[in-house]
C-alpha cells in the first residue's frame, strides 16, 4: 500500500524535521541517491528499514562529482516515477534540494563575488610561494568539477580520503571521490541521520564513506548493502538505460567473468594475474574497453598478487561509451 511521503527541498527544513523526530525518540536512516531509481535503490531502503523507523531518501545529482567531460547534463532523471516507487516501498521523506551548494537557498540568492570573477574571465591558475617569491602555475586540472565549471566557486571546502580515493575509479575519475565524500558529508550534516545505507555496487565509494565517518568522527552508522542484479546478471545501475539491447548483451560478460573468477578461486586458483588476464580477455572479446580489472583487499583496496584472504574483484569497463562498474567479493 502506498504511503504519504513528505518532500523537503530546504536544508533548514530537513534539519529541523530530523531534530524534532529524534527528540521524539525516532531513529532516522538516510539513503543517498541521484534518482532514476531502480530495484537496487529500493533494496537500500529495505535494508534501511531494518536499522531505523524513519527513512529519508535524498535525490540529488551532485555536480561536484562529475568532471566537465562526463555525463552530468544527460544524467537520467524522472522524479514522478521515483516518487511513486518510494511511496510504494514506504519512505517518510524525500530530500530533494535544488542546489546543495547554495548557501542561501532559502532566500533564493544565488550570486557570489567569485561567480562574477569567473564570468569575467577567471583563469584556472594558482599562485604558490616558492623560495620567497611567488610563481603562477596552471591549476591542477583534476581540481575542476562541474560545480566549478558552472562558475559556482562559493564552495571551497573539500573532503579527500587520500589513499582510498586514488585507485580503481579514482584513476580515471580523479575528482569523483572528492565530490562524493564532500556531498555525503553535507548530507550527513543537514539530515543528521543515525544510519546511512550505501550499495556495494559502488564498493570503493562505500569504503571511502566508512573511512570518512571513522576519521572525522561522524555519528552515523554506515551500512553496505548487497548488489542487486537484473535477471540476466547485469548489476542494476541508472546508467544501464544508455545501453542498446545489443550493448547490454555484451555487457553481461562483466558479471559472467566475475562469476567464473569466483569459481576458479573456489577450485584453488590463487594467481591474481591469471584471474585478471582471463577476465580482461573475455571482456575485450565481448567488445568492452577495460578501465580497470583489479583484485584488491576488501578494506584497504590495495591490489593483491595472490588470494590469501578476503578480496574483492572490481571491474570498470566501457560498453558503447557507457562506463559500467561491478564487483564480486571472493
Ligand atoms: N545494483 C545495485 N545494487 C545495490 N546498490 C546499488 C545498485 N545500484 C546503485 N546502488 C546504490 O544506490 C546508491 C545511489 O546510487 P546512484 O543513484 O548513483 O545509482 P546508480 O544506479 O549507481 O547510478 P549510476 O548509474 O550513476 O552508477 C549508491 O549507494 C549505490 O551504490
Ligand atoms: C552517494 C551519492 C548519492 C553521492 O552523490 C552518489 O555518488 C551515488 O548515487 O552513488
Ligand atoms: N553511483 C555513483 C555515481 C556516479 O557514478 O556518478
Q: pLDDT for 247-283, tens place per residue?
A: 999 999 999 999 999 999 999 999 999 999 999 999 9
Nearest-CA residue for ligand 2 atom 8 is: 33
Helix ranges, the chain (H): 11-23, 39-49, 79-89, 113-119, 146-149, 169-172, 176-191, 203-215, 245-266, 272-285
- The CA-based diameter of the chain, rounded to the nearest angstrom, is 69
Task: Say whether pLDDT at 43 is over 60.
Answer: yes
Q: Are residues 39 and 183 in the same domain?
A: yes
For the entire predicted model, the pTM comes to 0.91
Q: Are residues 45 and 98 in the same domain?
A: yes
Q: Are residues 129 and 210 in the same domain?
A: no
Q: Are residues 315 and 261 in the same domain?
A: yes
176, 204, 207, 235, best to mutate for ligand 3 pocket (most atoms within 8 Å of CB):
176
155 is annotated as an active-site residue = no
Q: How far does the centroid of ligand 3 lie from the alpha carbon of residue 61, in Å?
A: 9
pLDDT in tens, 298-330: 999 999 999 999 999 999 999 999 999 999 999
Q: Are residues 311 and 166 in the same domain?
A: no
The CATH code of the domain that includes 290 is: 3.30.1300.10
**Percent with pLDDT over 90 in the chain:** 83
Is there a domain that residue 43 lies in? yes
Give me the pLDDT at residue 151, please.
79
Average pLDDT for residues 38-63, to the nearest whole number? 98
Q: Are residues 139 and 247 in the same domain?
A: no
Give me the pLDDT at residue 153, please.
67
User: Which pLDDT band holds residue 2 (cuts at 50, 70, 90)?
Assistant: low
Is there a domain that residue 191 lies in? yes
CA–CA distance, 139 with 137 (Å, rounded to integer): 6
The CATH code of the domain that includes 202 is: 3.40.50.620
Average pLDDT for residues 144-170, to the nearest whole number? 91
Q: Identify any residues that bridge with 32 across adjacent strands, giving them in sequence order.
A: 58
Q: Is the CB of 288 under 6 A from ligand 2?
A: no
Q: Is the CB of 202 under 6 A from ligand 3?
A: yes
Task: Say whether pLDDT at 122 is over 80.
Answer: no
57, 184, 223, 236, best to mutate for ligand 2 pocket (most atoms within 8 Å of CB):
184
Q: For the chain, what is the domain count? A: 3
Identify the weakest region by mean pLDDT among 106-115, 124-133, 136-145. Answer: 106-115
Average pLDDT for residues 44-60, to the nearest whole number? 98
Q: Are residues 12 and 66 in the same domain?
A: yes
C-alpha cell at position 133: 617569491
Q: Tell me which of 106 and 310 has the higher pLDDT.
A: 310
Is there a domain that residue 107 lies in? no
Residues 147 and 70: beta-carbon distance below 8 Å: no
Is there a domain that residue 108 lies in? no
Give me the pLDDT at residue 126, please.
44
Q: Are residues 31 and 166 in the same domain?
A: yes
Q: How far does the centroid of ligand 2 lie from the alpha carbon of residue 78, in Å?
A: 16
Task: Say whether pLDDT at 6 is over 60.
Answer: yes
Q: Are residues 83 and 209 in the same domain?
A: yes
Give me the pLDDT at residue 136, please.
45
Q: Is the CB of 40 under 6 A from ligand 1?
A: yes
Distant-in-sequence, close-in-space partners of 125: CB < 8 Å, separation ≥ 6: 136, 137, 138, 139
Q: Is the CB of 326 under 6 A from ligand 3?
A: no
Average pLDDT for residues 183-188, to the nearest whole number? 98
Q: Is the CB of 202 under 6 A from ligand 1?
A: yes
Q: Are residues 142 and 32 in the same domain?
A: no
Mean pLDDT rounded to a whole number for the chain: 90
CA–CA distance, 261 with 307 (Å, rounded to integer): 12
Is there a domain that residue 188 lies in? yes
Is there a domain that residue 286 lies in? yes
Q: Are residues 96 and 180 in the same domain?
A: yes
Is there a domain that residue 12 lies in? yes
User: Which pLDDT band holds residue 59 (cuts at 50, 70, 90)?
Assistant: very high
Give me the pLDDT at residue 158, please.
96
ipTM rounded to 2 decimals: 0.98
Q: How far does the centroid of ligand 2 lie from the alpha carbon of residue 57, in Å?
A: 11
Q: Are residues 132 and 168 in the same domain?
A: no
Is there a domain that residue 232 lies in? no
Distant-in-sequence, close-in-space partners of 65: CB < 8 Å, separation ≥ 6: 145, 175, 176, 177, 178, 179, 180, 183
Closest atom, ligand 2, to C-alpha of 62: 5
Domain that holds residue 143: 113-149
Amino acid at each position: 500500500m502506498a504511503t504519504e511521503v513528505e518532500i523537503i527541498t530546504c536544508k533548514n527544513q530537513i534539519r529541523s524535521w530530523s531534530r524534532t523526530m529524534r527528540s521524539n525518540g525516532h531513529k532516522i536512516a538516510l539513503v543517498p541517491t541521484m534518482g532514476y531509481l531502480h530495484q537496487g535503490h529500493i533494496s537500500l531502503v529495505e535494508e534501511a528499514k531494518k536499522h531505523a523507523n524513519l527513512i529519508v531518501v535524498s535525490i540529488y545529482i551532485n555536480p561536484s562529482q562529475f568532471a566537465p567531460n562526463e555525463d552530468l547534463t544527460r544524467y537520467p532523471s524522472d522524479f514522478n516515477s521515483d516518487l511513486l516507487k518510494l511511496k510504494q516501498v514506504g519512505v517518510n521523506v524525500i530530500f530533494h534540494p535544488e542546489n546543495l551548494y547554495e548557501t542561501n537557498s532559502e532566500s533564493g540568492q544565488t550570486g557570489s563575488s567569485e561567480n562574477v570573477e569567473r564570468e569575467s574571465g577567471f583563469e584556472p591558475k594558482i599562485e604558490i610561494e616558492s623560495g620567497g617569491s611567488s610563481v603562477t602555475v596552471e591549476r591542477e586540472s583534476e581540481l575542476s568539477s562541474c560545480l566549478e565549471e558552472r562558475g559556482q566557486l562559493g564552495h571551497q571546502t573539500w573532503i579527500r580520503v587520500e589513499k582510498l580515493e586514488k585507485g580503481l575509479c579514482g584513476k580515471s575519475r580523479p575528482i569523483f571521490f572528492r565530490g562524493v565524500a564532500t556531498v555525503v558529508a553535507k548530507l550527513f550534516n543537514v539530515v543528521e541521520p543515525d544510519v546511512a545505507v550505501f550499495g556495494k555496487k559502488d564498493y570503493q565509494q562505500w569504503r571511502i564513506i566508512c573511512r570518512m565517518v571513522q576519521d572525522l568522527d561522524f555519528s552515523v552508522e554506515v551500512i553496505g548493502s548487497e548488489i542487486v542484479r537484473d535477471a540476466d546478471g547485469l548489476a542494476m545501475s541508472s546508467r544501464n538505460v544508455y545501453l542498446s539491447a545489443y550493448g547490454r548483451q555484451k555487457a553481461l560478460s562483466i558479471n559472467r567473468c566475475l562469476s567464473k573468477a569466483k569459481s576458479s578461486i573456489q577450485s584453488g586458483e590463487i594467481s591474481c594475474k591469471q584471474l585478471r588476464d582471463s577476465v580482461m580477455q573475455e571482456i575485450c572479446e565481448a567488445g568492452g574497453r577495460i578501465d580497470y580489472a583489479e583484485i584488491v583487499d576488501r578494506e584497504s583496496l590495495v591490489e593483491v598478487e595472490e588470494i590469501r584472504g578476503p578480496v574483492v574483484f572490481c571491474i570498470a569497463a566501457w560498453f558503447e561509451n557507457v562506463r559500467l562498474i561491478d564487483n564480486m567479493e571472493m
